[in-house]
Structure 1
Amino acid sequence: MNPYIPFPAEIIKINQQTDIDYTFFVKSDLKVRSGQFVQLSIPRVGEAPISISDFGDGYIEMTIRKVGKVTDELFEKKPGDFIYLRGPYGNGFRVEDNFGKDLILVVGGTGLAPVKNLINYYYNNLDSLNSFRLIVGFKSMKDRLFVPELAKWGEKFPVNVTLDRPEEGWFGSTGFVTEHVQKMVIKDIAKTHVIIVGPPPMMKFTALGFQQIGMPKEQIWMSFERKMSCGLGKCGHCKVDETYVCLEGPVFRYDKAIKLVD
């Protein structure tokens, strides 16, 4: 089978998250791991790399922002229409690496999408962890993703949703996620793992914040949301030094990630 040839996938449901973010559910029997991505294409329009936000028996879910010609065309689609996919690609999260640990997940904005399945996994298997904490930062109330899920998750483990600045009608936390990391009390650093997902500046300063409170680089992971192209390590668009992010990533341990400088 030619790995460059996409296969058709039927859209079965579309949920609106924000003014420019929609979640597409498509029929698929792909074998997927949390943190992987697919290449989504529309004939005569183009192709774009899209993170898989969740998956289950017979479907995958992708939460997509309207930011270009492919997504502009995608947002014209409706249930019953077909798109084309190839993949999945990349190395995702190994859920078993965190078993028995105190896990802290810090997410910025649309970075919540590629870890939604990971959160759901631990929500359903919370006894596999010693503890779980989630910090999610959004620019504003209208930018929040997965609002019902955030409320559901908060019934089982601490979920701190913070907005960048105070806003009328918002009674939750405010401030960048880095501010909340600085206030964090970690009882046993040796048994704690950290996952950071979001825009590059947010990931950089969040990782530095954890280092300042004594977290070793080897206990921090992050997902690089970069512009992929082929997904197969052939085109070089995602190459940083000698590393092909689409092949070795997008999930990296921080002692490797800190060396990946464009």
Structure 2
Amino acid sequence: MNNEYMPFVSEILDVKKHTDIEYTFRMSYTNETEVKPGQFFEVSIPKYGEAPISVSGIGKGYVELTIRRVGKVTNEIFEHYVGDKLFLRGPYGNGFDVNLYKDKEVVIIAGGTGVSPVRGVIEYFSNHREEIKNLTLIAGFKSPQHILFAEDFKKWEQNMDVIMTLDTNEGDSSYREGLVTNYIKDVTITDYSNVAAIVVGPPVMMRFSVSGLLNEGLKEEDIWISHERKMCCGIGKCGHCKIDDTYVCLDGPVFNYTKGSQLLD
């Protein structure tokens, strides 16, 4: 009998610093075809514990995990460098299926670290622009110092409509200022019967972003969200992510809004 809690060893292939507390770790992983954006891995260090981290990138022989330094486990992870090894288990959960968005007009709204779980979707359609009608990305960060994946944004701007907004642009007029919800009305949609939207970020931001999309004419069934903040053990045993009869780590964290809107805790 296999022990579902047993992790495997993964080598750190690269480390990318975004901010003082947010790094992307590229980890060796040979079954990358089994991973979807929006899924997560448990990252663990003996004696320190483990933390659920969303997949922010998928490539041949690796996965990327963007980690915020916020506690005991993540503090210790930040003491590891290229060539060091961490323990992983996963991938877990229900991710974003890019096939659901093909041949549609796609709108992605992400706030802060919420860009991480949708980065794989953005990257896929940036590289396969012919598979969708149109793609608009609205991303919000606190300030210029909090921007994640800055190099990616420069590339994405060549293949899609990108609206980056900051809570404060600190006088830099090259950035828009304000909440992501302020810019939903600026999205051009030509066919509301053939549109899909993804919203990921803090709960309040997701709630008002979805409301804004609905006000613009989208239907609930055309919107997907992620309850990634609820992730815990990954295999439905600890019960921390259970809402009514739904285990977020098993049935999510990605949900169509028709289901996700009912998961109130």
- TM-score bucket of the superposed structures, by smaller chain: over 0.9
Q: Quick check: 1:242 aligned with 2:245?
A: yes
- Normalising by structure 2, we get a TM-score of 0.96
Instruction: Render the CA deviation track for 1:209-246: whole Å, top value 9, x for unaligned.
Output: 11111211000001112232210011110011111000
* Alpha-carbon contact 2:230-2:248 (below 8 Å) kept: no
CA distance in 1 between partners of 2:178 and 2:237 (Å): 41
CA distance in 1 between partners of 2:232 and 2:62 (Å): 23
* Equivalent residue, structure 1, for 2:8: 7
* Equivalent residue, structure 1, for 2:78: 75
Q: Quick check: 1:32 aligned with 2:24?
A: no
2:229 aligned partner, one-letter code: R
1:162 aligned partner, one-letter code: T
- Report the number of matched residues: 262
Give the gaps of 5 or more residues in structure 1: none
Q: Quick check: 1:93 aligned with 2:96?
A: yes
User: Aligned to 1:223, which of 221, 226, 231?
Assistant: 226
Q: Which runs of 4+ in 1 moved over 3 A?
A: 182-185
* Alpha-carbon contact 1:24-1:62 (below 8 Å) kept: yes
CA distance in 2 between partners of 1:8 and 1:229 (Å): 20
* Equivalent residue, structure 1, for 2:210: 207
Instruction: Render the CA deviation track for 1:76-115: whole Å, top value 9, x for unaligned.
Output: 1111111000000001011111111000001101100111
Name whichever of 195-204 and 25-34 sits farther off. 25-34
CA distance in 2 between partners of 1:105 and 1:169 (Å): 24
State how 1:159-174 maps to structure 2 within 5 Å: 159-174=162-177
2:11 aligned partner, one-letter code: E
2:209 aligned partner, one-letter code: T
- Normalising by structure 1, we get a TM-score of 0.97
CA distance in 2 between partners of 1:90 and 1:170 (Å): 40
* Equivalent residue, structure 2, for 1:178: 181
* Alpha-carbon contact 1:134-1:159 (below 8 Å) kept: yes
Name whichever of 233-242 and 170-179 sits farther off. 170-179
State the 1:170 CA deviation: 4.0
* Equivalent residue, structure 1, for 2:112: 109
State the 1:121 CA deviation: 0.6
Instruction: Render the CA deviation track for 1:18-57: whole Å, top value 9, x for unaligned.
Output: 1110010111113211111000000010000000100111
Percent identity at matched positions? 47
* Equivalent residue, structure 1, for 2:126: 123
* Alpha-carbon contact 1:199-1:225 (below 8 Å) kept: no
CA distance in 1 between partners of 2:137 and 2:67 (Å): 22
* Alpha-carbon contact 2:101-2:132 (below 8 Å) kept: yes
State the 1:199 CA deviation: 0.7
SS in 2 for 1:190: coil
Instruction: Render the CA deviation track for 1:181-231: whole Å, top value 9, x for unaligned.
Output: 134342211111110011111000000111111211000001112232210
CA RMSD of aligned residues (A): 1.1
2:43 aligned partner, one-letter code: L
SS in 2 for 1:235: coil
1:239 aligned partner, one-letter code: K
CA distance in 1 between partners of 2:107 and 2:113 (Å): 18
